[in-house]
């Protein structure tokens, strides 16, 4: 039987929760990691993104990068398109962290519109987290992250006006934390 959109979305949430089960955010309370992908999908829904496969890919967006999940597994469970979107927002783990960040900035504008939506929502979520539940970072590291996230979000602009506005708001008000 064909699964409903709601059932597929919950299937993705359940899959991501299991994959991220032992991971925590970098904040002082060690928030369960799954709160973040759920928040990214929620931000997209609030911005009126109704494409269920984009919302599914948002919930799954850190599974390949941060867990043992493979592309084959995502394709088999959620289909080619969802897997392709997750791959589009996944860093090449063979590169060092600085190079991965540089490539996120230079490649952002070349991504598909759906991948840009996920990327910009991811940066909005992380900038909000940085303010509301910050890791124990020095000022200069916070500043470097904000600048990086702003540049990636800049490359993702132009697909959804609400997301553009929220990213701009986070980038400008992030001077508050400095």
Q: What residues are annotated to the active site?
A: 65-66
Under a CB-based contact definition with an 8 Å cutoff, are residues 87 and 116 in contact? no
Residue count, binding to Zn ion (CB under 5 A): 2
Q: Which is nearer to Zn ion, 62 or 170 (CB)?
A: 62
Q: Which is nearer to ligand NDP, 122 or 150 (CB)?
A: 122
Decide: is 122 part of the binding site for Zn ion (CB under 5 A): yes
CB 59 to ligand NDP: min, Å? 13
**What is the DSSP-derived secondary structure letter of residue 32?**
B
Q: How far apart are the first and last CA of the chain?
A: 53
CB 129 to Zn ion: min, Å? 10
DSSP-assigned letters across all residues of 87-150: HHT---TTS-HHHHHHHHHHHGGGS-HHHHHHHHHHHHHHHHHHHHS--S--HHHHHHHHHHHH
**Please, which of residues 34-73 interact with Zn ion by CB under 5 A?**
62
Question: Which partner from the list Zn ion, ligand NDP, none does 6 bind, CB cut-off 5 to 8 Å by kind?
Answer: none
H/E segment holding residue 30: none
Decide: is 150 part of the binding site for Zn ion (CB under 5 A): no
Question: Could you list the residues that contact ligand NDP (CB under 6 A)?
Answer: 25-27, 36, 62, 97-98, 101, 122, 126, 129-130, 133, 135, 138, 140-141, 144-145
**HSE (side-chain half, CA atoms, 13 Å) at 64:** 22
CB 3 to ligand NDP: min, Å? 27
Q: Which is nearer to Zn ion, 1 or 22 (CB)?
A: 22
Give Rg (Cα) of the chain.
16
Q: Which is nearer to ligand NDP, 144 or 162 (CB)?
A: 144
Length of the chain: 178
Binding positions for Zn ion, rule: CB under 5 A: 62, 122
């Amino acid at each position: 039987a064909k699964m409903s959109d709601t059932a597929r979305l919950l299937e993705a949430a359940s899959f991501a929760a299991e994959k991220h089960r032992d991971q925590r955010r970098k904040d002082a309370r060690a928030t369960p990691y799954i709160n973040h992908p759920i928040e990214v999908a929620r931000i997209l829904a609030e911005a009126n993104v109704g494409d269920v496969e984009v919302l599914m890919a948002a919930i799954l967006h850190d599974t390949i990068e941060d867990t043992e999940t493979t592309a084959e597994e995502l394709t088999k469970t959620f289909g080619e398109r969802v897997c392709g979107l997750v791959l589009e927002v996944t860093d090449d783990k063979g590169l060092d962290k600085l190079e991965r960040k540089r490539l996120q900035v230079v490649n952002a504008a070349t991504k598909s519109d759906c991948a840009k939506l996920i990327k910009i929502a991811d940066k909005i979520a992380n900038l909000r987290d940085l303010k509301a539940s910050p890791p124990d970072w020095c000022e200069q590291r916070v500043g470097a992250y904000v600048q990086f996230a702003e540049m990636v979000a800049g490359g993702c602009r132009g697909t959804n006006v609400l997301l553009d506005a929220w990213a701009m708001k986070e980038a400008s008000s992030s001077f508050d934390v400095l």
